[in-house]
Amino acid sequence: MNYDAYQDQVVQRAGESVLATNKVLRNTYLLLSMTLAFSAVMTFVGTQLQLTGIHGIICWAVGFGLLFLTRYLRNSPLGLVSVFGFVGAMGLSIAPTISAYLAIYANATELIMTSLALTSGIFISLSAIAIVTKKDFGFLGKFLFIGLIVGIIAAVANIFFQIPALSLAISGMFVFIFSAYILYDTSRIINGGETNYIMATISLYLDILNLFLSLLHLLMALAGDD
Return mean pLDDT, the chain. 89
- Point out the least confidently predicted range of 3-7, 143-147, 209-213: 3-7
Q: Could you tell me which residues come within 8 angstroms of residue 97 by beta carbon, excluding any fewer than 6 positions away?
A: 56, 213
**Residues of the domain holding 117:** 3-223
Q: Specify whether the CB–CB gap between 75 and 115 falls below 8 A.
A: no
The number of distinct structural domains making up the chain is 1
| Closest residue by Cα to residue 28 from 39, 38, 36 | 36
49-99 pLDDT per residue, tens: 999 999 999 999 999 999 999 999 999 999 999 999 999 999 999 999 999
d(CA 17, CA 36): 28
157-194 pLDDT per residue, tens: 988 888 888 889 999 999 999 999 999 999 999 988 88
pTM over the 0.85 mark = yes
